[in-house]
Every structure is written in structure tokens, then in C-alpha cells.
Chains A and B, each alone.
Chain A
Amino acid sequence: MKKLTKEDIMNVDPLKKDLGKSWIKVGMSTCGVAAGADEVYSTLIEESKKRNIEIDIRKCGCQGACSVEPLVEVNVEGLPKVLYGRVTKDVAITILERHVRNKKLLHDYIFEIN
């Protein structure tokens, strides 16, 4: 990697953080991993390929809502940013199909905590 300069840091585009307009973030700290975030993450990657759903799937740290891990945050154009809690493998697949593809939010898994 090339050495960063002052300009590189000062002129960075803050929007780059949310690469693309659609993304899924999976909370992958110890608390999330202990609750099964690893499996959710790999399910999302595999199933999105299998189902031809194009979306940027990324790892992130802990959001703090430890009682409802694993946490998956989804941002799809045209819908508000949504935080899903207690996500299992099956729920992960439903998120891909219902939320990402059909743009319908899932019942009973959204946590509006903050």
C-alpha cells in the first residue's frame, strides 16, 4: 500500500463508507459471532450468489444491542435503513428474497432501538 499523505486523509469522500446504494452489514464482534453471525454472514454470501441478488455484503462491529444478536443492518434504495435482530439462517434468506428483491420489510424482526 502506498503511504498516505495529508491530502489523502483530508479529501476522502465520506460517502465511500457506504459503498453503493444497497448494502447489508453483519455485526461480527465476539457477541455476534457467539450468537451465530458467522453462519448468517456465509449464508448471505452464498445465497445471494445462488439467487443472483446483487448486494454489497460487509462485516462490521457491534451495534450494542447484545440481547438480540446476531444483528443485520440492511440498506436498500427506496427503503429506510433497517436493523434486524435475532437473525437466523432462514431469516437471512428471507431478508434477501423479501427485503432486497421484493422491497418488502420483514415482520417481527426489526429493532428500532436508538
Chain B
Amino acid sequence: MQKKIIYLRDTDSAQQDRINDFYTLFSNELRDANLQEPVQLVKIADIGLYEKGITVKILPENIVYSGIKNTDVKRIVEETIKGNKIIKELLYEKKSKQMRAVLKNCGYIDPESLEDYIAAGGYKALIKVLLEMKPENVVEELKKSGLRGRGGAGYPTWMKWNFARGMNSPEKYVICNGDEGDPGAYMDRSVLEGDPHSVLEGMIIAGYTIGSSKGYFYIRAEYPLAVERVQKAIDQAVSAGLLGNNILGSNFNFELEIRLGAGAFVCGEETALIASIEGKRGTPHPRPPYPSVKGLWGKPTIINNVETLANIPKLIAGGGAKFASVGTEKSKGTKVFALTGKVKNSGLVEVPMGITLREIIFDIGGGILNNRAIKAVQTGGPSGGVIPQEFLDTPVDYENLSKLGSIMGSGGMIAIDETDCLVDLAKFYLKFCVDESCGKCAPCRLGGYQLLRILEKISEGNGELEDLNKLKKISYAMQKASLCGLGQSASNPVFSTIRYFEDEYKKHIVEKKCQAGKCKALIYFKIHPQKCKKCGLCMKNCPSSAILGSREAGYVIDPQKCIKCGVCFDVCKFKAVMKE
């Protein structure tokens, strides 16, 4: 008989012992059928399904059965393992919600090997472009594909390239923006570390299209491994003749150089980034003129995000129409998200545009940690906003997210559950933007600081209802009057949290309560005398000796001494410590 493998997994999170019973059941059945030798039974750690009961996957046929009962085990062994018959009523037709295009090579090829990249189909697009296509054909393909910038704003890539192509200048530049600074976002790092040659290929194609012979990788210095691998990739490409003069026998010349970002968030903004490469202080300046007209050293320049450039080779190789077959009407292709926060499987996911937030969080991410209720999803980092759970079924694309008051951003996606406080969240992002504001323009420098002060006042229990109006007013002024994207969008987290969670703000202001228990000034801890088993664990662990009492008399918390660290709440095994 052919060798088979059975993967076994309990996809319900609550019942941990059940899987061992099923393991025994299966191994007994296999023993009775005398199939122990050819069939391997393996308990695995994740099967890619969640809350679908006991699930097995049978290899090599790839049959997935879910919701299995004790009584089904015998049938599965008899019919499917022995008789090669599929049991229809148990079958789970699993479709992968992910679609890997940009991340296709990440984790599959050796990022430090040019051979590997070529074996995976790399640099074929470059050959097609250099030997068969004119620059205008490349722009035409991009236009057909509908590719939009993956850095956040979603500007159509073909327009950017076409502007720069049309400029009459002997010198033009291509810049790859790898200054990924959003808290919780690391898609670009993974692409640069896992598949650097794909970005290189995208840049060479960009150079050919706009008529440039020099490109820069702008990578933040906090990504040393990415810098090392990109440098290695550049060296390999130079020695293989993929960079330099007369690339692949054509008369096109192109060279690449890395420039390091010194850790300023604002340098991800294109005009500040250009200033930084020129050796000046990284501050933005007003647009227009746009970089595609007057950019680096005053010459036409295109700046593209890492993910945008990594999309180019596959787009050219497969053709624009094929690229456009995935996605929604105005947002084409796939998008990589860094899924983090209170989600079970945090990590990088790549999904076609138009998938719903619910599918991303629950089907790919596996749902919320500890089976708590989801409250909202934050997208777009400090420039984005929150999307409350009632909009989880919205298809993800540029337009829908901005309609909801958030942005696609570079692709950070943070799941927020009921234990997170939205005022605290807004404060966190604002603090980030205040720290990172370059200080050049007043709306961002002063407005951000004032917003932060009001939020601090609210979270300390000193808020007034009038503050909500002030928050809205200042936010509006910042959006309208700031010089660059950082200031214009810094108030987005405040705006969108007030828009959807005004009640929560009001609770902080009127009732002086923080439901999630995050704002320390508004919570206090209490020991429930009936539930307390007088074990004394809380007293032992209290760092500020705020718990008084004895094993006979029971324990109380001294509110004067309590520093509200929550240790007693966490260590109590009887849930006798209450947070109010």
C-alpha cells in the first residue's frame, strides 16, 4: 500500500486534552487495520483552520476533513485510508485566502544567491524589457495593470513614471524608498531581506523606462541585515553584468548605490528623503514641484516603495492584464500586510485586494488571542485610523479604507480587542508623531503637542467635554495646514477614534472611567472578600507593599500605596482581584 500521512489537529482553542483522545482512537483503528507501518499519524501545531473542530489532513492526497466526531474515525480509516474514497459530508474544501506574488520567493530561495533568484524565474522580465520593449510599452503595461504605489497614498505608478519619462533631462534618478518607519510594519524589511534581487530588477526596469542611469536604495540604518543583503545583491548583479554598462548586451547603463537613513520617520516622506540623500537635513519642502519634475539634485526623480518595485518584475513577465485580473475595480493586485496586535497568528500575509478585514483577521490570523471580542482594526500606522468591528466585512482597497477614515498605508494592520483603550491608542500614535515631527512647520510642531496634552489630560481624568471639540478643531487645522504628509495625517488616529468611539472618550471625561483598564489614573484595584481564598499570593508579589492583611484576616489594597501595576490582578488564581 502507498505510504500515507495523517495530520491531526484540534482547531477549537478551548479543549486541549481532546486531541490526545483522538490520537489514541486513530492509532487504535490503524493498528486494528494493520496499517501502522505505511501510515504515519502526526499531531501538528497548526493546520490553517480555526474553530472548525477536530481536523485531519490526509497526505499525499491533500484531503481535509473537519468537525470529526469519535464515530467518524473508523469510517475515515476504513473508507479513505484503506479504500481511497472521499467521505463527502466531512470534507472541508479549503481555499487559501492568501495569494503570494511579492512574497513568492521570500522563504523559498536563498536571498544571498543570484543563481537561486534566476532559477525562480528572475531577471526574465528585465530581458523582456531591455530587448523587446520600448519605454513607452513599459508604461503602457503599467497603465493596463492598474498598479498603485504601495507606500501609502496609492498614486498610480504609471503616471509617476510617465511624468519622469517625459522630462527632457540628461540626468534622472530612481529611488527605492526603504525607510519603513511605521510602528508594527515590516513588510519592506522582509522583502529586502528575503528577495532583494526582485527589488533590484524592478529598479533597473524603472531606470530603463524613465531614461535614468543611476538609482539609490534608501534604507533605514535600523535594518542592518537588509542593507547587507541588498549590498550583496548589488555586488552580484554588477559582477554578472546586470548592472553597469551595456546591460545584457543592450546599450542601457545603470548603476545602484545604497544610502542609509539615520532613523528619522519624516525621511520616509519623499521630499525629506531627497534632502537626506543630498546630505541636507531631512526636512520636507512644499510640492509642487513634484520630484518627478524636480527631485534629487534638482533632476527628475521617481521614488517608489519597496513593495511597488518588487511587484514590477512579475507584472512585466506576466503582462499588465494578468496583474489587473486580481483585485477590485480601482485597486489591483495583491497587498502585503503585517498583521499584529491581539491576533493569534501574527505575521506577514499577502492577500488579493478586495478581501475583507474579517477574512484577514479570522481566517488567516486565526482570530483574537484568548478568544476575546474584537473591537477594531487599526490600519496605516500613525497616519491611519481605526476601523470598528461593525465594518469588518468591508473589502480592503484604497477607496474603502479612506471612506472609513483610515488609509491603506504601507500595510500595518493591528487587531484591537476589548482590553485595549482607544484613547490610549490615539495617545500612543500621537506621541510617536510628536516625537518624529521635524519642527519645520507650525501646525504639526505645535498642533501635535497640544493634541497630545489634551489626550493626556483626558486619560488622567481631568478632561472636559469641550476638549472633544478642541481635539477636532486642532486636528482639522493640522490636516489642512501642515507642510507634508506626516503633519497632515498625524491627527488621523485622533479623528477616527473620536468618530467611532466618542462614547469611550465621554466615559473617560464624564464618568472618569476607562473600561479597558488601560488609563492608570482612572482605574483602581480591589480585592473581593467573598472570592478571596486568603492565599497571600498577591501580597507576596506586590512591588509597592500596598497589600495589607494576613492569611487569617484576608487582604485589602491600600489605595494610597497602590501604583496600579496590575501584578495582583494577574497573579490571583481565583479572580478575586477586581479592576474598576
Decide: B5 and A27 in contact? CB cutoff 8 A: no
Please name all residues of chain A whose beta carbon is closer than 8 Å to the beta carbon of B240 when the two chains form the complex.
1-4
- CB neighbors of A among B93-129 (8 A): 96, 98, 100, 103, 105-112, 115-116, 118-124, 127
- B225:A29 contact, CB within 8 angstroms: yes
Report the Cα distance A111→B9, complex, angstroms. Answer: 10
A64's partner among B116, B123, B190 (CB-CB below 8 A) is B190
A85 touching B45, Cβ below 8 Å:
yes
Q: Is A45 on the interface with B (CB-CB < 8 A)?
A: no
The secondary-structure label for the interface of chain A is loop
Say whether B231 faces chain A, with CB atoms less than 8 Å apart. no
Q: Enumerate B203-231 residues with CB–CB distance to A below 8 Å.
A: 223, 225-226
Query: Closest chain B residue to A62 by CB distance?
Result: B190
Which residues of chain B have C-beta atoms less than 8 A from A76's C-beta?
Answer: none
B46 at interface by CB-CB < 8 Å: yes
8 new A-B contacts, CB < 8 A, other than A80-B59, A112-B47, are: A12-B119, A16-B119, A27-B107, A29-B193, A80-B60, A105-B5, A107-B43, A111-B44
Q: Is the CB of B248 within 8 A of A108?
A: no
Residues from chain A with Cβ under 8 Å of B241 in the complex = 3-4
A29 near B194 (CB under 8 angstroms)?
A: yes
B193 touches A12 (CB 8 A): no
Q: Which of A16, A63, A110 is the one whose CB lies under 8 Å from B45?
A: A110
Partner of B44, one of A15, A62, A110: A110
CB distance from B122 to the nearest CB of A (A): 8
Residues of B within 8 A of A8 (CB): 118
Bound: A108/B19 CA distance, A: 11
Identity of the chain A residue whose Cβ is nearest the Cβ of B127 in the assembled complex? A6
B548 within 8 A of A: no
Given known A-B contacts A5-B249, A9-B123, A9-B124, A61 and B193 have beta carbons under 8 A apart: yes
Shortest CB–CB separation between residue A100 and chain B, in angstroms? 15
The 8 closest A-B pairs by CB, nearest first: A61-B194, A63-B107, A3-B241, A110-B44, A64-B348, A66-B347, A17-B119, A29-B193
Task: Name A's B-contacting residues (CB within 8 A).
Answer: 1-6, 8-10, 12-17, 25, 27, 29-31, 33, 58-68, 71, 73, 78-80, 85-86, 104-114
- Name the A residues within 8 Å of B7 (CB-CB): 110, 112
Pairwise interchain contact A67-B345, C-beta atoms closer than 8 A: yes
Q: Is the beta-carbon distance between B46 and A30 smaller than 8 angstroms?
A: no
Chain A residues with CB under 8 Å of B194's CB are: 29, 60-62
In the complex, the answer to whether A30 meets B193 with C-beta atoms within 8 Å is yes
Contact between A112 and B348, CB atoms less than 8 A apart = no
Alpha-carbon distance A79/B344, docked complex (angstroms): 29
Residue of A3, A68, A79 contacting most chain B CB atoms (<10 Å): A3
Q: Does B174 count as interface, using CB distance less than 8 angstroms?
A: no
The number of chain B residues touching the other chain, given as a range, is 35 or more
B124 contact set on A, CB distance < 8 A: 9-10
Say yes or no: B347 contacts A111, CB within 8 Å: no
Given contacts A64-B103, A80-B60, A111-B44, whether A14 and B223 have CB atoms under 8 Å apart is no
Tell whether B195 is near chain A: CB-to-CB under 8 Å: yes
Chain B residues lying within 8 Å of A16, measured Cβ to Cβ, are: 115, 119
Given contacts A67-B345, A108-B43, contact A14 B119 (CB under 8 A): yes
Does B251 count as interface, using CB distance less than 8 angstroms? no
B253 at the interface (CB under 8 A from A): no
Select which of B5, B120, B123 is within 8 A of A80 by beta carbon: B5
B5-25 residues with Cβ-Cβ distance < 8 A to A are: 5, 7
Contacts of B122 in A (CB 8 A): 9
> CA A25 – CA B110 in complex, angstroms?
9
- Given A29-B225, A60-B107; A1-B45 close (CB under 8 Å): no
Q: A77 to nearest B CB, angstroms? A: 12
CB distance from A26 to the nearest CB of B (A): 10
Asked if B158 is at the interface of the complex by the 8 Å CB criterion, the answer is no
Q: B571 at interface (Cβ–Cβ under 8 A)?
A: no
CA–CA, A64 and B187, complex, Å: 9
A6-B127, A60-B109, A80-B60 in contact; A68/B43 too (CB < 8 A)?
no
Are the C-beta atoms of A111 and B348 separated by less than 8 Å? no
Q: CB of B242 within 8 A of chain A?
A: yes
Q: Can you spell out 23 A-B residue pairs with CB atoms less than 8 angstroms apart?
A: A3-B240, A25-B108, A27-B107, A30-B193, A31-B186, A59-B111, A60-B107, A61-B108, A61-B111, A62-B106, A64-B349, A64-B350, A65-B347, A66-B347, A80-B59, A80-B60, A86-B45, A105-B5, A105-B40, A106-B42, A113-B48, A114-B48, A114-B98
